[in-house]
Amino acid sequence: MHSTAKGIIAEKKFALRCLELGIPVLTPLIDQNGFDYVIQKGDRFEKIQVKSTAVHDKRNKNSYRFTVKRGAVGFKYSEGDFDYLACYIFELNLFYIIPFSCFSAMTIRINPTSTKCKYNNYKEEWSFLTES
């Protein structure tokens, strides 16, 4: 399956999970703003960028690598482009909901089995999107 199709599937899985959890989710008409969805969180709106991977990181077979860049050219996201990054691992059917302020690199490596992985605090952390 082409990586574009996988990305679209991950985005739809995110929206479905939001609906299942009762999180109001909105879709932009045009994909040009640096975010894939907007969720309503009380009286505020939060922008979500969804990234996905279906393969293990070459450096560590237990890790998954996410490239967090904007567009095919690969521009780095800026503060304000989105509020949360939703990283989806196909093999595990697992989301990581990571606040924008909690990463700075264009590459994120997540090891779901490691106690040392700083991103494991964000594993299936949907409360970020539901609590006001």
Which pLDDT does position 37 carry in this prediction? 96
What is the model's pLDDT at position 16? 97
pTM of the model: 0.92
Under-70 pLDDT residues of the chain: 72, 132
* Start-to-end Cα distance in the chain: 38
Nearest-angstrom CA–CA distance, 111 and 118: 9
Q: Is residue 63 within 8 Å of residue 53, measured between CB atoms?
A: no
- What is the distance between the alpha carbons of residues 68 and 119, in angstroms, rounded to a whole number? 14
pLDDT at 20: 96
Three-state secondary structure call for residue 34 = coil
Q: What DSSP line would sit under 68-93, residue for residue?
A: --BTTTTBPP-TTS-SEEEEEEGGGT
